[in-house]
A and B are shown apart, each in its own frame.
Chain A
Amino acid sequence: MVDPQKLRDEELVALCQQGKGEYFEVLVRRYMEKAFHIAANFTRDTETAKDLSQDAFLRAYSNIRQFDGRSSFYTWFYRIVVNLCLDHARRSGRVVWESLDALSESPGEHHQLADTTFQPDQEAIAGEAKRRANKTLEAMPKKQRTAFLLRNHQGLTIADIAKVMKTTEGTVRVYLHRAVAALRQSLVEFV
């Protein structure tokens, strides 16, 4: 008997399509961390990320018969996760990010960081840089942000991102370049 953990995604999907739904558990185990992290990148909230990524598994499972194998399972699944995250952001109005920024940023803070007599520790600088980066990401067009998060945070190749986003590789390169350029510009004080 073959260990289900050793089966490839496509083999597991085929078994699920034959009605052996128990094999989907292996796919859950295999992709739960990635699914959760990308949802967390988008939402910046653990509970929401957990709900959205679990919802992605439910949708993938209920639509598994529609998966035709033209793309890999993980690009198909990433697309479900990303769409859920973007849909959630649209509905929620990105309140979470706004509130995080409001808590951490005061008008005089940037001036303090620019002042050479002020000696905040490296951790505070890193924290501030991260908040600024998040704010910049938040303000980005969603396609740029998606391309950036999938490449930088999830390590997907440009070819796979193009499949997830259903666009061309050239377009993904443009999105990625614009996102990176915007981030670098916003973090000018911290580099």
Chain B
Amino acid sequence: MKSVVPLEGACKSFEEDLVLFYYGESADADRRRVEQHLPSCAACRRFVDDLRRLLPDMAKSEELPQSFWDAYYRDTLAKLAEQDRQKYWWRDLFAPLKVWAVPAFGTMAVVVLAIGLVLGRGDSKRVTEGSSEAIPQAILSDANQLEFFESMDMLEALSKLEEQDELKADPTTNHSSKLTSLAVNA
């Protein structure tokens, strides 16, 4: 049985260095200083001896059987896999489609496009027909007037063309007749 005697403290100026000395973490100069001090100081020697006696025991951990570590490893890998599965759940969703996913989606896209084109044409006709019925009368009359003016413009353009043709056919006559008419007007 060990006797129970109150401990003396180590020298205050050395205590921190003694802890680092014990752990082998002293700088060279500090280690030499401690090594020079210890032979002459019983309290500091006792301090270091206490650390050597107490601290390694504290660090001892329970010995666990290999079966524990095997189970630990398996459990950890299972948890990692589960975490991956939750993170990338959408991969599972597409997993069965992997082999034929590309041709399947390609075909589907073509079919959707074809249906869209066919129905889209019918819709446009219906929209046009429906729209003419729905247009108010005032707007329709404006539109008729617009057609009238357009046809007038066309007639005017035709008459200009005819004039140009005449000029090409007999430039002198026409030119002089124009001058005559100008003189008459003046």
Chain A residues packing against B (C-beta within 8 Å): 21, 24-25, 28-29, 32-33, 36-37, 40-41, 46, 50, 54, 57-58, 61-62, 113-114, 116, 119-120, 125-126, 129-130, 133, 151-153, 157-158, 173-174, 176-177, 180-181, 183-185, 187-191
Contact = CB atoms under 8 A, between A and B. Distances in A.
B16 A61 contact: no
B168 interface: no
B146 interface: no
A125 B23 CA distance: 25
Interface of B: 1-4, 6-7, 15-16, 19-20, 22-23, 25, 47, 50-51, 53-55, 57-59, 61-62, 69, 72-73, 75-77, 79-80, 83-84, 87
28 contacts: A21-B80, A25-B77, A28-B76, A32-B76, A36-B72, A37-B61, A40-B61, A41-B61, A46-B62, A54-B72, A54-B75, A58-B83, A61-B80, A62-B83, A62-B87, A119-B1, A126-B57, A151-B23, A152-B55, A153-B58, A174-B16, A176-B23, A177-B15, A180-B51, A183-B54, A184-B54, A187-B54, A190-B54
Contact of A191 (B2, B20, B77): B2
Nearest to A187: B54
A188 B6 contact: yes
